[in-house]
Chains A and B, each alone.
Chain A
Amino acid sequence: MADLPPPVQGPTAKEKKYDRQLRLWGATGQMALENSHILLINSGPGVVGLETLKNLVLPGIGHFTIQDSQVVDETDLGVNFFLEEQHLGGFRAEHACNLLKELNPDVQGSFITEPLESWLTQPDSLKPYTLILAIAPVRPELLTQLQAHADQALAPLFYVHSVGFYSHFSVYLPPAFPIVDTHPSPETTTDLRLLKPWPELLEYAQQKTKNHENMAADDHGHIPYIAVLLHYLEEWKKEHNGEAPQNYKDKTAFRDLVKQATRTDNPEGGEENFEEAVSAVLRSLNPPEPSSTVKEIFKAPECVLIRENSAPFWVIAHAIGLFYTKYGVLPVPGAVPDMKARSADYIQLQNVYKSKARKDFAEVLESVRFLERNANRSTQIEDKDVEAFCKNAAHIKLVRGRPFHVVPAEGDLKWGSNAKSLVFLAWDKFTATHSLDGLAGAPRPPGSSEAELEADTEKVTGIALKLASDLTKQASYPVDQDDLDTVNSQIMELAQEIVRAGGGELHSIGALTGGIVSQEVIKVITEQYVPVDNTCVFDGVRSKSSVFRV
């Protein structure tokens, strides 16, 4: 009876359906998605917004709502996948909502057909939403209202354009948007502390390399490379006034020392563990200094002063900052890469790192509890959150969200520039100041009619060039005339290409941009990976993206 294996808890139906994504963001990320309610304020041809939602409904956000007062017309059917012929004349929000809901029975969908302008006047209309996606064109005064809400409710706001072969989005994140689980690539994260070993690690190395000259070939070929390196580091230090290899020259000399210690009189003519040791020298013999990004987080005002209502991130960051001040290093993350070794030796080494990581974590946890008592915080931060922070302390990130720029009706621009973002601003300005004949109030994007194509191109180019020239006037440094000429001719081409589309979307560019925006939404909601800060443009002519901060 005792030999019977425990019954297997196979995956649940949900785990099966979401298997391929749970391997990326795990159960906690999935839970965050399922607790979210996303608002899409749709306008224009409407493709990029619905394609974004498709990529969010599939992985299982909790709820979505589409606000769109437009009625389905013939042009929708040539560009939108989530509308059918039978929906002609009906509300776009309603039918798209129904077809999107079919994609995932676990997701709830709602729609609002009231025009944005009047809907926004209702009290608390934006309150239920975790995150808002606004699709251009949106009237500047309404966009300003959305920004005010994002500012006050700390709800992330995306503003998205998809026009012809170009697309653009800006995201307004809360002023402090910290991320612990940044998913750094495994190659960059190994932190072995070979230059700052603790007594148990040194003892392990001594034990494994004791009498190594007389070891049998098979034993010698299985000394874990970490023990090999630590052993020869001690040897090196004896010859160099107790100093470890300092610079590139020292390190290559040290590498040669290890290389020469490799036994070649065995049948293989070499040793894999020594090869591993040699190739790890340049990578691993670096002082475990935290990056400037991490040190800046320790100095942030939110980190310095912990209050009753500080976010858990800042409490833990403060505690880790104390740890860093005391020891000059971050807590040991505790992971050990795989290496040529016997099972028992490797597990023992893993435990040396794990015990140290646990000890460091315990110390940080103690500081966290102390800070909590001091600040009179009512709820305790969970141990596992502190532990996760300690493990990834070297890779935490802080994004300082800030409002993006709404085209001003009057007055000057006061921000950093990029030819592409200027052209989108010019497009917004044109659209906000032109309306379609007979449909008072409906915005008219440039290039929508053949007769006005040339005039519109000239106008948009003029607005963009004016924006650029205003910016150079404000610049605190002299702008080179050649640079200015290059920017100006770039602007002229970009303006011509964007007006060519006549405010229309190409399905592929809408779908591509919907893919990028949905990735960003997932990153923001799960608080994993690192989101765009704060503007991204995709150029479908050259198939290139660029990211900049405005």
Chain B
Amino acid sequence: MAAADVTPLPNGLEGDRTRWKYLDKVLDRPGPFTDPDSFVPGNHETLERAKVLVIGAGGLGCEILKNLALSGFKDIHVIDMDTIDVSNLNRQFLFRAADVGKYKAEVAAAFVEKRVKGVKITPYCGKIQDKDEEYYKQFAIIVCGLDSIEARRWINSMLVGMVDGNDPDSLKPLIDGGTEGFKGQARVIFPTMTSCIECQLDMHAPRAAVPLCTLATIPRQPQHCIEWAHIIAWEEERKDITLDTDDPEHITWLFQKALKRAEEFNIPGVTYSMTQGVVKNIIPAIASTNAIVAASCCNEAFKLLTNANPFLGFPGTDNYMMYTGDESVYTYTFEHQKKDDCPVCGEEALARPLEIDPEATLQDFIDSLAERPEAQLKTPSIRTTDKSLYLQSPADLERLTRPNLEKRMKDLTAEGEEMLVTDKAFPTMFKYVVVWKK
């Protein structure tokens, strides 16, 4: 047959692999570190057929979508509930000034589909909590680029809950990235087999809140004045208006209140930018760090699916890479150990010891749960084996248990008693055993 008679296949699609020449080198040839039992030279199908879910289409998500598309993945889904803000444009490179206000997931998916031919990206503009087990079950792997610990804990607990010992297909590897300034981390989790997000929770301790009495009576820092305006002054003076931290008028009001209070106490340093930072809890973010962490996540996803090289997260090996760029370049790659008493992936019968001050009131204890690095629960409902101490809902039960908030812990429970904590943000039951603080 003459060469001219052959209809050329469309570029980049099945058959013509010219476009993927570089990728094919590592797909076709084994290397010195590849596991000969799991690596199949020339296998392009696994990658092309794998359905991947990307959670988050922000700074990390934009990078992840681009990297996966150019690593040979063809069927990508992306979830994000947010719309584009002007402050995203310094790093979220799939968005332009004209896109401000549109859904991130939609704009990002359309952009990458247009740029990289042959890849299909399905956006969902909404919350991860809108989706159920059936939905998450369809994916081979889940890559997270989120800025919220709560969302990470939710998907983690969903994936751990999905694992069915009799069905190897129910185990979905979770790859998670996070950044702050010049630092970041990438980690790989095999739900129930290796350390999970909940096991690692204390590595990401929340910033300690300033006591209310400091804000109310003895502010010392400009941030104290801003928090006062945010938590106390707004409640007192504009209770009927819902605070919108994206409304410049609202931020301006808080800024002026804070400034006035700071002047009263001779505290220097309140600025508009600081007000915004404190009220919105802004974490500095740059394109470079997102690029590093997102690419590390995608490199692991690629290795995991192709076995082209060993990947992070294989049980008994390193599963966590920490990156620091403030001073030179430093990575720390290690194995984070699974915790037997993890409330999500640990043994069900095990309750974690929880140190409680017997003199503290139930309200104090509830407040402390939000800040304890290993708990971080903001809206807990608490029961002991035989009674409900406090329930957030329904309203009737909340009213009934509310008087307990004033009572001291020693009058509500006893050393060694088991305590069950639930929080509407998570499907998990947190089981603790009371240990009195000495």
Please indicate the chain B residues that have their CB under 8 angstroms from the CB of A518 in the complex: 287-288, 291
* Complex alpha-carbon distance, A81 and B93, angstroms: 11
Contacts of A536 in B (CB 8 A): 329
A11-30 interface mask toward B, CB cutoff 8 Å, 1 = contact, 0 = none? 10101111111111000000
Tell me the complex Cα distance, A542–B32, Å.
Answer: 13
With an 8 A cutoff between CB atoms, is B83 at the interface? no
Q: Is B22's CB under 8 angstroms from A58's CB?
A: no
Is B21 a contact of A532 with CB atoms below 8 Å?
no
A500 CB-CB contact with B under 8 Å = yes
Q: How far is the CB of A379 from chain B (nearest CB, A)?
A: 31
- Asked if A543 meets B259 with Cβ closer than 8 Å, knowing A79-B70, A506-B71, the reply is no
Q: Which of B67, B97, B290 has the most CB of A within 10 A?
A: B67
A142 to chain B, nearest CB (A): 24
How many A residues are at the interface, by size bracket? 35 or more
Is A508 located at the chain interface by the 8 A CB criterion? yes
Of B33, B221, B252, B289, the contact of A493 (CB 8 Å cutoff): B33
Query: Which of B63, B93, B287 is packed against the most chain A CB atoms within 10 Å?
Result: B287
Q: Does B120 contact A (CB under 8 A)?
A: no
Contact yes or no, B19 A74, CB < 8 A = yes
CB closest chain-B residue, reference A542? B333
Docked-complex contact A20 and B90, CB < 8 angstroms? yes
Q: Which residues of A contact B333 (CB under 8 A)?
A: 542-544
- Name 10 interchain pairs, CB-CB below 8 A, sorted by A: A16-B87, A20-B90, A21-B285, A504-B21, A508-B302, A511-B298, A536-B329, A540-B299, A543-B333, A544-B333
Q: Which of B18, B26, B287, B328 contacts A164 (CB 8 A)?
A: B26
- Taking A58-B93, A222-B218 as known contacts, 15 extra A-B pairs with beta carbons closer than 8 A to each other, sorted by chain A number, are A23-B282, A54-B291, A338-B220, A344-B266, A497-B31, A497-B33, A500-B25, A501-B26, A504-B22, A506-B22, A508-B298, A512-B292, A515-B289, A522-B288, A523-B325
Establish whether residues A507 and B220, one from each chain, have CB atoms under 8 Å apart when the complex forms.
no
Report whether B291 and A17 are in contact in the complex, using a CB–CB cutoff of 8 Å: no
Question: Is there an interface contact between B260 and A515, defined as CB atoms closer than 8 Å?
Answer: no
Give which listed residue, B186, B266, B291, B325, contacts A514 with CB less than 8 A: B291
Q: A512 near B86 (CB under 8 angstroms)? A: no
A176 at the interface (CB under 8 A from B): no
B331 touches A78 (CB 8 A): no
Task: Name the one of A23, A346, A507, A532 contacting B277, with C-beta atoms under 8 angstroms.
Answer: A23
Q: Tell me, yes or no, whether A103 is within 8 Å of chain B by CB.
A: yes
Which residues of A are in contact with B by a Cβ distance under 8 Å? 5, 8-11, 13, 15-24, 45, 51, 54-55, 58-60, 74-75, 77-81, 84-85, 102-105, 164-165, 182-183, 185, 222, 269, 338-339, 341-344, 346-347, 447, 453, 492-493, 496-497, 500-502, 504-509, 511-512, 514-516, 518-520, 522-523, 529-533, 536, 540-545, 547
B87 contacts A347, C-beta separation under 8 Å: no
For chain B, the count of residues having a C-beta within 8 Å of the partner chain is 85
With a cutoff of 8 Å between Cβ atoms, the chain A residues found around residue B265 in the complex are 343-344, 347
Q: How far is the CA of A344 from the CA of B90 in the complex (A)?
A: 41
| A24 & B12 in contact (Cβ 8 Å cutoff) | no
CB distance from B32 to the nearest CB of A (A): 4
The answer to whether the Cβ of B371 comes within 8 Å of any Cβ in the partner chain is: no
Interface positions, chain B 120-157, Cβ under 8 Å from A, are none
Q: Do A530 and B291 touch across chains, with their CB atoms under 8 A apart?
A: no
A384: shortest Cβ distance to chain B, in Å? Answer: 16
What is the CB-to-nearest-CB distance from B230 to chain A, in angstroms, rounded to a whole number? 16
Q: Is the CB of A547 within 8 A of B31?
A: no
Let me know if B290 and A515 touch, CB within 8 A. yes
Cβ-defined partner of B22 (8 Å) among A78, A496, A540, A543: A78
Indicate if the CB atoms of B287 and A55 lie closer than 8 Å: yes
User: B87 near A17 (CB under 8 angstroms)?
Assistant: yes
Q: Chain B residues with Cβ under 8 A from A59's Cβ?
A: 90-91, 286-287
Provide the residues of chain B in CB contact with A17, threshold 8 Å: 86-87, 89-90
Most A Cβ at <10 Å: residue of B30, B259, B283, B323: B323
Q: Are B26 and A508 in contact (CB under 8 A)?
A: no
User: What's the Cα separation between A23 and B26 when bound, in Å?
Assistant: 41
Q: Is B115 an interface residue (CB 8 A)?
A: yes
Would you call A532 and B329 a contact (CB within 8 A)? yes
Does B309 interact with chain A (Cβ within 8 Å)?
A: yes
Given contacts A493-B32, A545-B331, contact A165 B26 (CB under 8 A): yes
Interface centre among B248, B255, B265, B327 (most CB of A within 10 A): B327
User: Contact partner of A507 among B70, B266, B290, CB < 8 A?
Assistant: B70
Q: How far is the CA of A530 from the CA of B328 in the complex (A)?
A: 5
In the bound complex, CA of A175 to CA of B59 (Å): 36
Cross-chain contact B296 with A512 (CB below 8 angstroms) = yes
